[in-house]
Amino acid sequence: MSESFAVPGIRSDDLSLPEPTPEHFRWSLLHHLQYTVGKSPEHASKFDWRMALSHAIRDRAVNPWFASTRRTWAEDRKRVYYLSMEFLIGRLLEDLAINLGLRDVVVEVLDGFGLSFADIAEDEPDAALGNGGLGRLAACYLESMATVGCPAYGYGLRYEHGLFEQRFEHGRQIETPENWLAEGTPWDFTRPESAYQVGFGGEVAEEDGHQLWRPRSRVLAAAHDTPVVGYGGRWANTLRLWAAMPNADLFDLARFNSGEFAAASEPEALARSLSRVLYPNDTTEGGKELRLSQEYFLTSASVQDILRRYLAAHDDLTRLPEYVAIQMNDTHPAIAGPELIRLLVDEHGFGFDAAVDVATRVLGYTNHTLLPEALERWTVDLMRKVLPRHLQIIERLDTQFVELQGSRPDPVRLIGGDQVNMGDLAFATSHRVNGVSALHSELVRKDLFPVHDELHPDRIVNITNGITPRRWLRLANPHLSRLITDTIGEGWETDLERLRGLEQHADDPAFQAAFGRTKHLAKEGFAGWLADEHGIELPTNALFDAQVKRLHEYKRQLLNILWTIAHWQRIKRDPGAGWVPRVKIFGGKAAPSYHTAKDIIRLINDVGQVVNNDPETRDLLRVVYPPNYGVSMAEKLIPAADLSEQISTAGMEASGTGNMKFALNGALTIGTLDGANIEIREQVGPENFFLFGLTADEVAARRAEPDHARAAIERSQPLQDVLQAIAEGTFSPDETHRYGGLLDLMWNSDWFLVASDFDAYDAAQGEVERAYRDPQHWQRMAILNVARMGYFSSDRSIREYMSEIWDIAPAL
Of 128-136, 350-358, 685-693, 768-776: span binding ligand 26V (CB under 6 A)? 128-136
Of 248-256, 280-288, 412-420, 498-506: span binding ligand 26V (CB under 6 A)? 280-288
Contact with ligand 26V (CB under 6 A): which of 144, 284, 294, 360? 284
CB of 279 to ligand 26V, least distance (A): 4
Contact with ligand 26V (CB under 6 A): which of 655, 677, 683, 785? 655
Euclidean distance between CA atoms 508 and 454, whole angstroms: 53
CB of 778 to ligand 26V, least distance (A): 27
First to last CA, the chain: 33
Euclidean distance between CA atoms 671 and 650, whole angstroms: 10
Contact with ligand 26V (CB under 6 A): which of 129, 137, 362, 678? 137
CB of 269 to ligand 26V, least distance (A): 22
Contact with ligand 26V (CB under 6 A): which of 44, 83, 88, 134? 134
Catalytic one of 549, 556, 602, 681 = 549
**Closest to ligand 26V by CB, 291 or 702:** 291
CB of 188 to ligand 26V, least distance (A): 23
CB atoms within 10 A of CB 270: 16
**Closest to ligand 26V by CB, 282 or 493:** 282
Euclidean distance between CA atoms 277 and 230, whole angstroms: 29
SS (H, E, C) 510-575: HHHHHHHHHHHHHHHHHHHHHHHHHCCCCCCCCEEEEEECCCCHHHCHHHHHHHHHHHHHHHHHCC
Euclidean distance between CA atoms 178 and 157, whole angstroms: 15
**Closest to ligand 26V by CB, 136 or 361:** 136
Contact with ligand 26V (CB under 6 A): which of 171, 656, 666, 790? 656
Catalytic one of 470, 550, 602, 780 = 550
Of 44-52, 279-287, 562-570, 622-630: span binding ligand 26V (CB under 6 A)? 279-287
User: DSSP string of 449-507?
Assistant: SHHHHHH-TTTEEE----B-HIIIIIIT-HHHHHHHHHHH-S-TTT-GGGGGGGGGGTT
43 is an active site residue:
no
Of 71-79, 283-291, 665-673, 783-791: span binding ligand 26V (CB under 6 A)? 283-291
CB of 38 to ligand 26V, least distance (A): 39
Contact with ligand 26V (CB under 6 A): which of 144, 194, 304, 369? 369
Residues β-bridged to residue 329: 366
CB of 86 to ligand 26V, least distance (A): 7
**Long-range CB contact pairs, 181-188, < 8 A, 24+:** 183/47, 183/125, 185/127, 186/50, 186/51, 186/54, 186/55, 186/58, 187/54, 187/58, 187/92, 187/226, 187/227, 188/158, 188/224, 188/225, 188/226, 188/241
> If binding is defined by CB under 6 A, does position 654 make contact with ligand 26V?
yes
Contact 711, 705 (CB under 8 A): yes
Of 307-315, 367-375, 734-742, 804-812: span binding ligand 26V (CB under 6 A)? 367-375
Catalytic one of 617, 657, 669, 672 = 657
Contact with ligand 26V (CB under 6 A): which of 20, 90, 132, 171? 132
Contact with ligand 26V (CB under 6 A): which of 465, 518, 560, 669? 465
39 is an active site residue:
no
Write phi, then psi, for 465 (nearest 5 degrees): -55, 160
Contact 84, 333 (CB under 8 A): yes
> If binding is defined by CB under 6 A, does position 681 make contact with ligand 26V?
no
> If binding is defined by CB under 6 A, does position 657 make contact with ligand 26V?
yes
**DSSP-derived pairing of the beta strands 152-157 and 172-176:** unpaired
CB of 663 to ligand 26V, least distance (A): 14
Q: 734: which residues sit within 8 A by CB, 6+ positions away?
A: none
For 219, the enclosing helix (H) or strand (E) is strand 217-229
CB of 428 to ligand 26V, least distance (A): 20
Task: Report in angstroms the alpha-carbon separations of 633 from 91, 107, 122, 533, 625.
Answer: 11, 22, 11, 11, 12
Contact 544, 580 (CB under 8 A): no
> Residue 84: helix, strand or coil by DSSP?
coil
Q: 402: which residues sit within 8 A by CB, 6+ positions away?
A: 411, 413
Contact with ligand 26V (CB under 6 A): which of 653, 679, 750, 757? 653
**Closest to ligand 26V by CB, 480 or 654:** 654
> If binding is defined by CB under 6 A, does position 757 make contact with ligand 26V?
no
User: DSSP string of 350-369?
Assistant: --HHHHHHHHHHHEEEE---
> If binding is defined by CB under 6 A, does position 436 make contact with ligand 26V?
yes
**Closest to ligand 26V by CB, 295 or 305:** 295
DSSP for residue 448: I
**Closest to ligand 26V by CB, 131 or 547:** 131
CB atoms within 10 A of CB 18: 10
550 is an active site residue:
yes
Catalytic one of 103, 368, 431, 474 = 368
Number of residues near ligand 26V (by CB under 6 A): 23
661 is an active site residue:
yes
For 564, what's the count of Cα atoms within 13 Å in the CB-facing half-sphere?
33
Write phi, then psi, for 210 (nearest 5 degrees): -110, 150
Euclidean distance between CA atoms 119 and 743, whole angstroms: 45
Of 203-211, 528-536, 556-564, 652-660: span binding ligand 26V (CB under 6 A)? 652-660
CB of 552 to ligand 26V, least distance (A): 8
Euclidean distance between CA atoms 360 and 81, whole angstroms: 15
Of 46-54, 131-139, 227-235, 507-515: span binding ligand 26V (CB under 6 A)? 131-139
Catalytic one of 389, 555, 622, 681 = 555
**Closest to ligand 26V by CB, 134 or 559:** 134
> If binding is defined by CB under 6 A, does position 279 make contact with ligand 26V?
yes
CB of 284 to ligand 26V, least distance (A): 4
CB of 96 to ligand 26V, least distance (A): 24
Euclidean distance between CA atoms 332 and 130, whole angstroms: 13
CB of 532 to ligand 26V, least distance (A): 31
**DSSP-derived pairing of the beta strands 210-214 and 217-229:** unpaired
Chain-centroid distance, C-alpha 460: 22
The identity of residue 333, as a single letter, is P
Contact 799, 325 (CB under 8 A): no
> If binding is defined by CB under 6 A, does position 281 make contact with ligand 26V?
yes
> If binding is defined by CB under 6 A, does position 133 make contact with ligand 26V?
yes
Contact 166, 628 (CB under 8 A): yes
Provide the residue count of the chain: 812
**Closest to ligand 26V by CB, 374 or 743:** 374
> If binding is defined by CB under 6 A, does position 299 make contact with ligand 26V?
no
> If binding is defined by CB under 6 A, does position 468 make contact with ligand 26V?
no
**In the window 323-342, what residues touch ligand 26V (CB under 6 A)?**
330
**Closest to ligand 26V by CB, 133 or 364:** 133
CB of 528 to ligand 26V, least distance (A): 30
> If binding is defined by CB under 6 A, does position 435 make contact with ligand 26V?
no
Contact with ligand 26V (CB under 6 A): which of 79, 368, 474, 780? 368
DSSP for residue 103: H
Of 129-137, 215-223, 357-365, 637-645: span binding ligand 26V (CB under 6 A)? 129-137
The identity of residue 452, as a single letter, is H
- The residues assigned a catalytic role are 368, 549-550, 555, 657, 661
The residue ranges that bind ligand 26V (CB under 6 A) are 131-134, 137, 279, 281-284, 291, 330, 368-369, 374, 436, 465, 653-657, 675
